[in-house]
Amino acid sequence: MPSIRNLAVLAAAMGVATIAEAHHSFAPHFDIKKPVSISGKVVEFEARNPHSYLRIQAVDESGRTEEYVCESHGVTQLSRNGITPALLKPGTEVRIEGSRSRTDPHRCFFTDLYFPDGRSLNVNGQKGPQPAPVSLAARRDITGTWLLAPRPGRGTSDPQPMMAFLTNAGKVAVARYDPSRMTRRSAAIRSRSAACGAHPARHCRGLLHSAALTSVERVYLDAARQRLVVEITLKDPEFFTREFDPWTLEFQPSDLKLEPFNCSPEGVNGTIKK
């Protein structure tokens, strides 16, 4: 069995790997079916954890100059994929693509950056063929650092079948939930009915859950494929009439250096409270 120290390293690595899902879900705030493309100049890039914010000044369809605020992953993940503060200095011309906010036409979630010199970057890493991963010694147990393994189609905006299995209490909670008005403080106060920022809720993909939610996670090593497999079972009898379908995450060995998260307090509907 790994030591307590090694288990801590494992847990930290898994936290880094899933940070895009750990704070708040995509689906309640942004609509992947409503793509946006915004061209303009960078006003400010707030490179933060758990989410970064890019402010862009652009001309809208009516010819007026407007400021758009677009969210994306935390600086930890963006930096690994080449998106740094040095790249997005004030005045930099850029075009971004992403998904429109459900509540504000001047907000979005950006996924792609395009620059006048032809460069393009995606917040989830390079598109197309990837370089061969660094060869690491085969692992015989779960000790070490692991990184979430790529999986086509992974996302938090997929259709949510559990919406068809809400109890009456669940329906009331959904009707009352307004993510655009949630702040970090109010989220804590309302956690019994709306806590998609809590650790187990990263699996709920944008759905609310009650305090009755339980999460059972079984972790094991698939030595033949060199994958750390996490099987997740969720149930919430207060808000849902049946258990969630089982869910699986897979992590691959990594030599990633763990770094401080440097989290800054923020509201779900807005940038850092300065």
What local confidence, expressed as pLDDT, does residue 107 receive? 93
Identify the pLDDT of residue 181.
54
CB atoms within 10 A of CB 178: 11
Is the pTM of the predicted complex or chain greater than 0.85? no
**Distance from chain centroid for Cα 41:** 25
> Which long-range contacts does 258-265 make (Cβ < 8 Å, 24+ apart)?
258/9, 258/12, 258/13, 258/16, 258/145, 259/76, 261/15, 261/16, 261/19, 261/49, 261/50, 261/76, 262/49, 262/75, 263/49, 263/50, 264/48, 264/49, 265/184
Q: Which residue has the tokens 């969630």?
A: 244
User: Could you read off the pLDDT tens digit of each residue along the chain, which spans 274 residues?
Assistant: 333 233 333 333 333 333 333 345 677 788 889 999 999 999 999 988 888 999 999 988 788 999 999 999 888 788 878 899 999 999 999 999 999 998 889 999 999 999 999 999 999 876 655 555 567 899 999 998 888 887 655 554 555 788 889 999 999 988 887 655 544 333 333 333 333 333 333 333 446 789 999 999 999 999 999 999 999 999 999 999 999 999 899 999 988 777 676 676 654 444 444 4
| Alpha carbon distance 208, 174 (integer Å) | 7
Task: Give just the sign of the alpha carbon dihedral 201, 206, 209, 214.
Answer: negative
Residue 1 confidence (pLDDT): 32
Question: Domain spans of the chain?
Answer: 30-122, 146-153+160-253
Q: E strands along 133-176, which residues?
A: 146-148
Give the Å distances, CA to CA, from 261 to 15, 62, 268.
10, 41, 18
Return the pLDDT at 188: 34
Tokens 């890493």 belong to residue: 125
Q: How far apart are CA 131 and CA 117, in angstroms?
A: 24
Q: Considering the domain 30-122 in this protein, what is its CATH number? A: 2.40.50.1010
